[in-house]
Amino acid sequence: MVNLFTPSQPKTSGAGPEPGSGYQAVDTKIPPKARPVFSEISVNGVAIAESAILAEAQNHPADNPGAALRAAAEALVIRELLLQKAAEEQVAGAPETTADGRTETAEDAKIRALIEMAVDAPSAGDAECRRFYDNNRERFRSEPIFEASHVLLAANPADEAARRQARAEAEQMIADLAAGAIGFGELARLRSACPSAQQGGNLGQLSPGSTVPEFEAVLMRLPEGEVTGSPVETRYGFHIIRMDRRIDGEQLPFEAVKPRIAAWLEAASWSKAVQQFIAVLVADAAIVGIEMTGADGPLVQ
């Protein structure tokens, strides 16, 4: 706390300091020093600089800054533990080029070499792969394919009057199609606001994820050869959809997906083994300033 008065002069109750009272003005040109974000963090006596934590935080998106800083601090503690272990084991890996074309730093190479030396994850055999396949059959289906056509009546989401009018027009068009007063392709060419109007509204082959969710929900349930009985609303306006052809997804045979399953299982096993290795390092280390997860916590899940 800044002392505004000399010890020999008591604080006065007036509107300002009295002449000769010993008052000393505060220097407002120098801002107060900011408090540190963390108490000092160290790993086996090696300090983790606050500046390094702040820089690392940008690599850890989170709901709030505090969570990002916490994740950054934990990451740097783990990195320091791995580097210390690499030095203890006299591991020195040669920097390699990563998949995105960047060259590893010397420290990254040491960490990679240490993990390759210390972590041994088992490979996935036929029995493990078959068990995973049988327990997750819904994940191994080919995607459905839809061939559909549509008529789009465009309307700005912010214009309520235009939206009401577009809906009413779409409902009348659906009635005209049902009565046979006009063909779908002709209607699309005359009225659709989509470039597909030139092809009679034909959108070609569609797969899950290729359209907006509201449109896709209709594709998933609309029978082949049928037209929607009511307009389909999206942010673009209102659609009249016809399902021209649908090819439902099929169960993929085990032999076709076995390599993919084996890769997944081996990656999961390797990740768990790395987490267990890190958890042991955490448990054996003297870490000050931050509480890390122990060997029985999320690091090994």
> In the predicted model, is pLDDT for residue 282 greater than 90?
yes
Output 25 or 243, whichever has higher pLDDT.
Answer: 243
Residue 274's nearest CA partner among 160, 111, 162 is 111
- The answer to whether the CB of 191 falls within 8 A of the CB of 151 is yes
User: The tokens 């649908």 sit on which residue?
Assistant: 246
| pLDDT of res. 4 | 33
Mean pLDDT in residue range 270-290: 94
Q: Which tokens hold the place of 10?
A: 């008591």
How distant is the alpha carbon of residue 290 from its chain centre? 26
Please check whether residues 225 and 295 belong to one and the same domain: no
| Spatial separation of the C-alpha atoms in residues 173 and 151, rounded to whole Å | 9
290 within some domain: yes
129 within some domain: no
User: The tokens 């783990």 sit on which residue?
Assistant: 78
Please write the tens of the pLDDT for every residue from 290-301.
998 644 444 433
50 within some domain: yes
Least confident of 120-129, 182-191, 228-237: 120-129
Report percent pLDDT > 70 for the chain.
84
User: The tokens 């240490």 sit on which residue?
Assistant: 114
Please check whether residues 240 and 156 belong to one and the same domain: yes
135 within some domain: no
Across the chain, mean pLDDT equals: 87
Please check whether residues 153 and 242 belong to one and the same domain: yes
Please check whether residues 114 and 65 belong to one and the same domain: yes
| pLDDT of res. 37 | 59
Rg (CA), the chain: 33
258 within some domain: no
Please check whether residues 194 and 103 belong to one and the same domain: no
Please check whether residues 207 and 241 belong to one and the same domain: yes
For the entire predicted model, the pTM comes to: 0.57
Please check whether residues 186 and 217 belong to one and the same domain: yes
Mean pLDDT in residue range 137-149: 94
Please check whether residues 100 and 176 belong to one and the same domain: no
215 within some domain: yes
Mean pLDDT in residue range 243-257: 94
Which domain CATH number covers 172?
3.10.50.40
Please check whether residues 176 and 242 belong to one and the same domain: yes
The total number of structural domains that make up the chain: 2
- Rounded to 5 degrees, φ, ψ at 238 are -125, 135
E strand intervals along 16-122: 41-43, 46-48
45 within some domain: yes
Please check whether residues 238 and 166 belong to one and the same domain: yes
241 within some domain: yes
56: left (phi over 0), alpha (psi -120 to 50) or beta: alpha
Please write the tens of the pLDDT for every residue from 79-118.
999 999 999 999 988 888 888 888 999 999 999 999 999 9
* Residues spanned by the domain of 111: 41-121+268-300
Please write the tens of the pLDDT for every residue from 36-66.
556 799 999 999 999 999 999 999 998 898 8
| Spatial separation of the C-alpha atoms in residues 57 and 116, rounded to whole Å | 27
Please check whether residues 216 and 284 belong to one and the same domain: no
Report percent pLDDT > 90 for the chain.
75
| pLDDT of res. 32 | 58
Residue 184's nearest CA partner among 225, 216, 146 is 225
| pLDDT of res. 123 | 85
| pLDDT of res. 9 | 46
Please write the tens of the pLDDT for every residue from 203-225.
999 999 999 999 999 999 999 99
| pLDDT of res. 100 | 83
Please check whether residues 196 and 157 belong to one and the same domain: yes
Mean pLDDT in residue range 116-123: 87
